[in-house]
């Protein structure tokens, strides 16, 4: 049994050694064909074989070798070096510009400059909206102006979140500020008109409710007339004028 195992191991080692052995059989015809295909030098052999069966290939094989294509490819690649450098330089400059643009868009410097002014105008606008009902306006009027206020709040929020440069962002903030200022002026005019209308209504209501006492008016007028009459008599008597002191009235 041991001998059988030893014999099998020896046979397996021989087979493996035989499988790993590489032979090299040189073939001039194949080497010439490869040389012609790669560099264009050499001749195709046997000549009679190529003349009879591959005559057209024989005529053009040396001119269509791979060496010419490799040379042209190298020339084209070499010419692309300058273009690649130009493209790389342009891309680097573009990347620098975009980095500055990203930094400009991520920090809202425009709000730092204009935010306090806009917030004050929005607060003033909100206070005037709250005065609508107290000055004689209706709840529907207040709701209408409140919708305007919400529109401007939405515009400010959208501008803050927008991806835009600070110069453009500042323009948008100033436009919103101008619109809020105009609407606030209109609201102030509306409040003044409602206040004046309320005062006028109150005055008219007070005039309509007042009763006229004609007897009292006549008594007051008579009293004033008697007072004036006594003053005239006193001035005449003090001046030493003649007469009985009675004044006459032409009827």
Task: List, for residues 73-125, the tens digit of each pLDDT value.
Answer: 888 888 788 888 888 888 888 888 887 778 778 788 889 889 999 999 999 99
Share of the chain above pLDDT 70, in %: 78
Share of the chain above pLDDT 90, in %: 23
pLDDT digit string, tens, across residues 172-214 = 999 999 999 999 999 999 998 888 877 777 666 666 555 666 7
pLDDT digit string, tens, across residues 160-169 = 988 888 889 9
User: What pLDDT is stored for residue 244 in this prediction?
Assistant: 47
DSSP the chain: -HHHHHHHHHHHHHHHHHHT-------HHHHHHHHHHHHS-S--SSHHHHHHH-HHHHHHTTTT-HHHHHHHHHHHHHHHHHHHHHHHHHHHHHHHHHHHHHHHHHS-HHHHHHHHHHHHHHHHHHHHHHTTTTTT--HHHHHHHHHHHHHHHHHHHHHHHS---HHHHHHHHHHHHHHHHHHHHHHHHHHHHHHHHHHHHHHHHHHHHPPP-HHHHHHHHHHHHHHHHHHHHHHHHHTT--S-S------
pLDDT of 242 > 50? The answer is: no
CB 149 within 8 A of CB 179: no
Higher per-residue pLDDT: 230 or 238: 230
Distance CA 125, CA 152 (A): 11
pLDDT of 61 > 50? The answer is: yes
pLDDT digit string, tens, across residues 10-29 = 666 655 555 455 566 778 88
Average confidence (pLDDT) over 51-65 = 83
């Amino acid at each position: 049994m041991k001998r059988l195992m030893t014999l099998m191991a020896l046979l397996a080692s021989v087979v493996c050694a035989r499988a790993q052995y590489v032979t090299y059989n040189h073939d001039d015809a194949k080497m010439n064909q490869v040389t012609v295909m790669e560099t264009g030098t050499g001749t195709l052999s046997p000549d009679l074989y190529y003349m009879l069966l591959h005559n057209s290939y024989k005529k053009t094989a040396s001119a269509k070798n791979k060496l010419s294509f490799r040379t042209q490819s190298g020339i084209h690649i070499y010419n692309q070096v300058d273009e690649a450098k130009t493209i790389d330089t342009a891309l680097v400059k573009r990347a620098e510009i975009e980095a500055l643009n990203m930094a400009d868009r991520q920090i809202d410097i425009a709000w730092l400059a204009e935010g306090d002014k806009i917030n004050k105008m929005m607060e003033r606008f909100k206070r005037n909206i709250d005065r609508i009902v107290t000055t004689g306006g209706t709840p529907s009027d207040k709701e209408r102006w409140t919708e305007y206020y919400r529109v401007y709040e939405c515009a400010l929020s959208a501008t803050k979140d927008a991806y835009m440069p600070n110069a453009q962002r500042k323009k948008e903030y100033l436009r919103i500020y101008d619109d809020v200022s105009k609407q606030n002026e209109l609201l102030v005019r509306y409040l003044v008109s409602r206040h004046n209308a309320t005062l006028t209504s109150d005055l008219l209501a007070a005039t309509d409710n007042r009763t006229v006492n004609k007897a009292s008016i006549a008594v007051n007028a008579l009293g004033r007339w008697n007072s004036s009459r006594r003053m005239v008599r006193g001035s005449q008597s003090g001046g030493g004028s003649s007469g009985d002191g009675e004044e006459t009235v032409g009827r």
